[in-house]
Each structure stands twice: as C-alpha cells, then as structure tokens.
Structure 1
Amino acid sequence: MADSRLRLACLLCVIFAAGSVTASKELISKMSTGFTKVVDQCKTELNVGEHIMQDMYNFWREEYELVNRDLGCMIMCMAVKLDLIGADQKMHHGKAEDFAKSHGADDAVAKQLVGMIHDCENTHQGVEDGCSRTLEVAKCFRTKIHELKWAPSMEVVMEEIMA
C-alpha cells in the first residue's frame, strides 16, 4: 500500500500536467476533471477534513506549503479509484500514459509526465510511510511542473472547481 500511495501521488501530478505552456492550461483542466470525479468518494472513505480539500485547491500554488500527510493518502486513494496503480501497488506506466493521452496529451508528453513521476518516486523511495511518500512525490512533481512553466493558473483551477 505504501508504494501505491507514492505512485498515486505521481499519477495525480500526471493528471494535472500538460504538454506546452499555452496548451497546458487546457490539458490540465481536462486531466484534473478525471481526478475530481473521485474526490468525494475518497474524501468520504478516508474521512478527511476540509483542510485536505484546501490543500487540493492550493496544490498548484508554488508558495503554498504541502505538509499534511493526509493529502498523500487522498492522492493515493484517487489513483487507486482511477485504476492507475497495478496489482503490485506501483504506478502502472501504460495506464498512466493512456490516462494522460485520453485527456489530450500526445505520446511524448504522456511519456515525459510519467517519467517525471517515476524520477520523483525514485528520489523518495526511502520514505517508509506510504502517505508521506506520496506527499513527497507530489511535491517533487509540482516543482518539476513549475520549472517547466506548465502549472495551471488559479483561474483555470477556479474554473475547474466551479464546473
């Protein structure tokens, strides 16, 4: 379960990522829709508070500190619900790529996103607690997306929340 949470965090990031700076906002919006479909299910199952929803809302804000272990648990739950984790409780690269492509990413971008998540997983594989590891992977991925200038604007995030 610990590895699957880490993989889920990475996969969540894949859902929110994009291929080019201009197209990224549209792609991220489309990909995030897939994840938001399972938010309520995981929120109920995990009995998480509104503070986790606040973390999810602020996920792409670079200055916002992601420190709550429960966010990692939430991300993992969502990835499991979307069948992005294999029986070995690791991110299923093929399914993750297919998920990104089904939301508008091309082959190269889908592979790049999965590769970025995989790198983050490898960097944080020593974190024993699954939820904490997932959180660290998500933070790593967020940093990589910001470095590429692919993070969605708050307007895009707000539109998705209101939709």
Structure 2
Amino acid sequence: MFTDRRLPDVKRRTYLVSAGAGVAALAGYTARGTSQRGSQPEYHGEAAVVYGHDDLDLRLRQEAVRLGDTVEFEITNTGRSEIVLGCNNPWAIQTYSDGDWQHVFWTRDRYYQLCVTILEPGRTFVERVTLSESELADDVGADLRPGRHRFLLLGPSPFVAVDFDICDD
C-alpha cells in the first residue's frame, strides 16, 4: 500500500526554532528553488542518478509521448522492504542537450515538506504528468520541446531515472 505519514505535531517553541533554522538554511536559494550556481535547482547534485535499482522498478507506461500528453510513470516496489519515496513522491524532468542533462521542471513544493511517503513491498504507485508548459506553469526551467528527456524520482537515494522521448506531432 502507498502511505503518506506526517511527522507528529511538535510544541510551538520547537516548531518555531526548527522553522527558523530551515528558513536560514534556505536563505541562499531563490523563490524558484534554484541555487546560486545559476539555473540549477537545489536537488541538482544532491544524489547520484541511477537507471536501475535493486528493489524499485520505474517505467513509462506509454510508448509514444507528445507535447501536451498526460503520461504515466509507474513505480513498483519489487523488494521485500518498504521504500521511502520522499514526501508525496517528489520528482523532476530533465532534457538531454549538448551532451548533458538540463533541468526542465521539478516538484520543489514536495521536496521540502516534512513527511514520509512509503511504498510497501509488491505495491505500485502511478505518477501522472502533463507534458506542457502551460500545465507546468511558472516552474519550467528550460524549454519543454521534442527530444530526449528523463524522469527522476527525488525521494530515493540515489535518485532513480527513466529516459523517454517526446516526439514531434
């Protein structure tokens, strides 16, 4: 089963101290969730990216993907233990350009939330993403266009990825 566990309530004073420390730690980042290194989001460089995980299967359900499509990424726990997906399953999309992966979009609001999302053994979760700049709104860091892309799960460490192509119409 896919569960979302919130951290227990804390005393007001403890919460305020923790919140203050969190704000101070994030003071070097802009409102777009990018670092001072330029246009890279905060998740960039925090963990290695792998395409295979011993206990986790990540795949795209569609064979052909076009701009504007709603695509489904299937995440299955193939192991015997629970897998932590972060809070509400944070993810990112990158595009392959000039020999490197470039940031396009990420769910930064999910990345900082204080909760734990667990995927139990044998269970599957499906993340639905509409691949359009209007749907992703102000959070698009680069042009979303046809070409090679990858979907990154940001909860597990290392991050788990699956590549996909967005085709021309």
Greater RCO, 1 or 2 (C-alpha within 8 Å, sep 6+): 1
TM over 0.5: no
Structure number with the higher helix fraction is 1
With normalisation by structure 2, the TM-score equals 0.29
With normalisation by structure 1, the TM-score equals 0.30
